[in-house]
């Protein structure tokens, strides 16, 4: 078999790329030095993959910010005003597309399928131009610097068009007709250079394509097959091919890659249908999205099944998807419990597993007897670990009734009672999503506390000072519903993982978007809350102000989705355990006098399965998990939730079924498109459409935010509208956050006065 990889983490083991790029943004280093650091990191990744025994090492999977954005730049899908005048796109224009600047906003950012990775989506105009052959440049770099013949990775034309914004609803066949010749030119130049294989990613193939979508795939690859090109491995991942099996497998390409981890039906279909002779099969056998070590014996059984219907000698053995979604190496997990650490495999360890499986298939199990025995031992050890199962958690779940999942008081009555209790203005109450900027001072104090340099009492004094500072700031700005700033939290999931039994905190990083990295915790056993997690902090902060202050929690679905979950229990069961832990926290916050509680669920839409048949089951347990977490409070207690960068049009009944009193959503980057879903559904609860983008440094002017509010008031009842940013302010500088909030409050007052004047007439 040929060993392959589909993509490698680009951020670096210790976030080296983040430091280089942000150093350039801040003016600490020049563009040349930033690019040199990125190049060394990129070459180091190529070396490691080759040394691990990977035959087809991917190139062009590295990016300074986002691979989809690289394709946006390569095909010239760049609006005016971003500093591009043709030819290769320079770093200033490139980062302006990603982050905006003083003159223009950033392009829209949204989730990459059902992952926590975000990509930059352009607006299609119908015009494309090949600015630079980036896959060829990446291949030549590896060849010239390392003598390594790599496999360039390209996002396929159908996925590119399907995932880009198309507000003018330009016909996709016409767009494809304009775009495919540029892909053909890229492939022709790669062939002329001597490239053997190209990986062309078409993950849209697992998303229940309609007949028009299937025709796009057929037309695209019929056109590409007609010209000179390297061998094409059409790569799918994140699910099985479902009803599109015949279309995808029948495309005129040299190989098709299948996900055999999340696409469980792919194996059954493969055995039932067989595999076309002469077409290479890409076998995605080790998990590219979770961190538990591969059960090598079970993987070899799968390979045996595949080998009965396909030629393994011509197959490409690799991960289920790009390893971008994993940390780099377990070797850096020095603080993790040694037993749990032994259960893990990150990107580098996945490469080793791939090589081991190839050896076992080629040489027989005796050739890797030691590795197989270690895998068996670890699997048995993990199953028998007493920390995994807790009878009291099981008993509590089994004892739940329908009453635990609902609030009896109708939402309209709840909102009236909550408004009186909270003392909010009748129109356009203002708030923030939760976090305030995590300054160097805050990070330094947290590091000193964790290292033992200062004790808990000193740290609490520091935190109380920051809470008081940000509360007084919000009072001065005129915000109506305050937050404490979350200075005690490094991350919205980590903070709870460190305080819940059955979860473990890791040190390694995963890229979420651009230079933003997260550390997904592990869910390794039954989850429970040994003691309150946020009550003391929220209570102390509330005592600092007469205004209402929100308790801030992360919801059960998001904790599940943004962790590396256990795979020995159904997702629903794990989510309900998390929901019970959050429910206990919600009730304790209410008992402590907190009148509004926000349970953030930004990953709710992210978890939606890619195929229609699987969606009802997910939406049922995901909404039930939220209701279980939030339904144990009195009608006067206001439940908020926050969701960002998600399309809601197709799941509005489920959003409504959450039962939240107020929902805040991203709105600025999508130019208000998300609001249409709430208009069409006649949403009759509180909603805060974000009026400015917190992922950009620019401070939006008052009138810009006021216009977004006017548009929102034209879609939804004004008495239901809240005013807030798109997301938390954690990653922003303090001065720009304050300036933006000041303008936001001014915009709210302006539109509030306009609405009152209209009502008076």
Q: What strand order describes the sheet that includes 686-689?
A: 550-554, 596-600, 638-643, 662-665, 686-689
For residue 757, give the 3-state DSSP assignment: helix
Q: Are 689 and 648 in contact (CB under 8 A)?
A: no
Nearest 10 degrees: CA dihedral of 680, 616, 663, 483?
-170
Q: Which of 118, 325, 642, 695 is catalytic?
A: 695
Distances (CA, A) of 21 to 347, 511, 543: 22, 14, 41
Comparing C-alpha atoms, which of 539, 564, 567 is closest to residue 552?
Answer: 539
Structure tokens at 87: 């030819």
Q: Are 644 and 627 in contact (CB under 8 A)?
A: no
CA distance 161 to 154: 13
* Residues contacting residue 749 through CB under 8 Å, at least 6 positions apart: 478
Q: Are 638 and 597 in contact (CB under 8 A)?
A: yes
**Beta strands 316-319 and 501-504, pairing class:** unpaired
* Residues contacting residue 612 through CB under 8 Å, at least 6 positions apart: 208
Q: Which residues on neighbouring strands pair with residue 197, listed in sequence order? A: 231
For residue 552, give the 3-state DSSP assignment: strand
Scan for tokens 């015009």, then name that residue. 127
Scan for tokens 């930004």, then name that residue. 602
Question: Catalytic site residue 695?
Answer: yes
Q: What is the DSSP string of 418-456?
A: HHHHHT--SS--BB--SB----HHHHHHHHHHHHTSS-H
Helix (H), strand (E) at residue 598: strand 596-600
Distances (CA, A) of 308 to 200, 277, 333: 27, 13, 40
Comparing C-alpha atoms, which of 642, 626, 573 is closest to residue 404?
Answer: 626
Residue 572 burial class via C-beta count within 10 angstroms: exposed 0-12, middle 13-18, buried 19 and up: middle
Rounded to 5°, the CA angle 167-171-173 comes to 140
Q: Are 480 and 307 in contact (CB under 8 A)?
A: no
CA distance 652 to 677: 7
Instruction: Please list, residue by residue across 671-687, b when 16 or more beta carbons sit within 10 angstroms of its beta carbon and e when fewer do.
Output: ebebbebbeeeebebbb
Structure tokens at 545: 């102000």
Residue 192 DSSP one-character state: H
Residue 649 DSSP one-character state: G
Cα-trace Rg, the chain: 26
Handedness of CA 69, 72, 76, 77 (dihedral sign): negative
Structure tokens at 547: 């205004």
Q: Are 662 and 718 in contact (CB under 8 A)?
A: no
Q: What's the first-to-final CA gap in the chain, in angstroms?
A: 77
- Secondary structure of the chain: what % helix, strand, coil (to 5)? 50, 15, 40
Comparing C-alpha atoms, which of 444, 631, 456 is closest to residue 556?
Answer: 631
For residue 689, give the 3-state DSSP assignment: strand
C-alpha 100: how far from its chain's center? Answer: 20
Among the residues of 132-261, which ranges form H helices? Answer: 134-146, 157-163, 172-193, 211-225, 245-249
User: Which positions are catalytic?
Assistant: 695
């Amino acid at each position: 078999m040929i060993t392959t990889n589909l993509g490698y983490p680009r951020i670096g083991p210790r976030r080296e790329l983040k430091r280089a790029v942000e150093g350039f943004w801040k003016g600490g280093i020049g563009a040349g030095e930033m690019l040199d650091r990125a190049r060394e990191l990129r070459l180091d990744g190529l070396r490691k993959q080759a040394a691990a025994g990977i035959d087809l090492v991917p190139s062009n999977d590295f990016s300074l910010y986002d691979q989809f954005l690289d394709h946006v730049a390569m095909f010239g899908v760049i609006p005016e005003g971003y500093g591009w005048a043709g030819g290769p796109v320079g770093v200033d224009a490139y980062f302006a597309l990603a982050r905006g600047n003083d003159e223009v906003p950033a392009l829209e950012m949204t989730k990459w399928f059902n992952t926590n990775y975000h990509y930059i989506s352009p607006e299609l105009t119908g015009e494309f131009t090949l600015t630079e052959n980036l896959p060829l440049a990446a291949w030549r770099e590896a060849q010239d610097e390392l003598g390594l013949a790599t496999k360039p990775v390209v996002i396929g034309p159908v996925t590119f068009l399907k995932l880009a914004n198309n507000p003018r609803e330009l016909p996709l066949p016409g767009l494809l007709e304009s775009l495919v010749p540029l892909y053909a030119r890229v492939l022709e130049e790669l062939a002329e250079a001597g490239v053997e294989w190209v990986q062309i990613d078409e993950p849209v193939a697992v998303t229940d394509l309609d007949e028009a979508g299937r025709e796009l795939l057929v037309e695209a690859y019929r056109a590409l097959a007609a010209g000179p090109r390297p061998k094409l491995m059409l790569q799918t991942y994140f699910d099985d091919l479902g009803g599109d099996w015949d279309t995808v497998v029948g495309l005129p390409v040299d190989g098709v890659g299948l996900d055999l981890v999340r696409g469980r039906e792919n194996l059954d279909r493969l055995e039932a249908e067989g595999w076309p002779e002469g077409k290479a099969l890409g076998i995605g056998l080790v998990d590219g999205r979770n961190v538990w070590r591969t059960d090598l014996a079970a993987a070899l059984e799968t390979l045996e099944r595949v080998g009965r219907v396909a030629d393994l000698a011509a197959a490409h053995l690799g991960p289920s998807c790009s390893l971008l979604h994993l940390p780099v190496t377990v070797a850096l997990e020095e603080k993790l419990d040694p037993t749990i650490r032994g259960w893990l495999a990150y990107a580098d360890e996945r490469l080793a597993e791939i090589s081991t499986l190839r050896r076992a298939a080629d040489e027989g199990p005796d050739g890797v007897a030691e590795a197989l025995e270690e895998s068996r031992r670890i699997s048995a050890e993990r199953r028998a670990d007493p920390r995994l199962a807790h009878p009291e958690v099981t008993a509590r779940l089994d004892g739940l009734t329908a009453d635990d999942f609902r609030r009896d008081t109708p939402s309209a009555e709840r909102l009236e009672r909550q408004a009186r209790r909270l003392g909010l203005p009748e129109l356009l109450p203002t708030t923030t999503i939760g976090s305030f900027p995590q300054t160097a001072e805050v990070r330094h104090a947290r590091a000193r506390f964790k290292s033992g340099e200062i004790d808990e009492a000193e740290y609490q004094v520091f935190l109380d000072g920051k809470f008081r500072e940000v509360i007084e700031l919000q009072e001065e700005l005129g915000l109506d519903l305050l937050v404490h700033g979350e200075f005690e939290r490094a991350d919205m999931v980590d903070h709870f993982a460190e305080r819940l039994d059955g979860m473990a905190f890791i040190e390694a990083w995963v890229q979420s978007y651009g230079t933003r990295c997260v550390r997904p915790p592990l869910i390794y056993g039954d989850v429970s809350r040994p003691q309150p997690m946020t009550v003391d902090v929220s209570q102390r902060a509330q005592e600092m102000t007469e205004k209402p202050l929100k308790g801030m929690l992360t919801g059960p679905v998001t904790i599940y989705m943004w962790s590396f979950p256990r795979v020995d229990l159904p997702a629903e069961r794990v989510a309900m355990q998390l929901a019970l832990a959050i429910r206990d926290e919600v009730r304790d916050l209410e008992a402590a006098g907190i009148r509004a509680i926000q349970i953030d669920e930004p990953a709710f839409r992210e978890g939606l399965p890619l195929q229609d048949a699987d969606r009802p089951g997910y939406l049922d347990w995901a909404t039930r998990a939220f209701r279980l977490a939030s339904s144990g409070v009195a009608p006067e207690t206001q439940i908020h939730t926050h969701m960002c960068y998600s399309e809601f049009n197709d799941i509005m009944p489920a959003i409504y079924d959450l039962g939240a009193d107020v929902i805040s959503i991203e709105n600025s980057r999508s130019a208000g498109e998300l609001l249409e879903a709430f208009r069409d559904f006649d949403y009759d609860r509180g909603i805060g459409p974000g009026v400015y983008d917190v992922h950009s440094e620019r401070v939006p002017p008052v009138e810009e935010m006021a216009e977004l509010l006017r548009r929102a008031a034209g879609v939804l009842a004004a008495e239901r509208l809240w005013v807030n940013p798109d997301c938390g302010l954690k990653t922003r500088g303090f001065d720009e956050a304050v300036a933006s909030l000041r303008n936001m409050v001014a915009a709210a007052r302006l539109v509030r006065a306009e609405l009152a004047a209209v009502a008076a007439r």
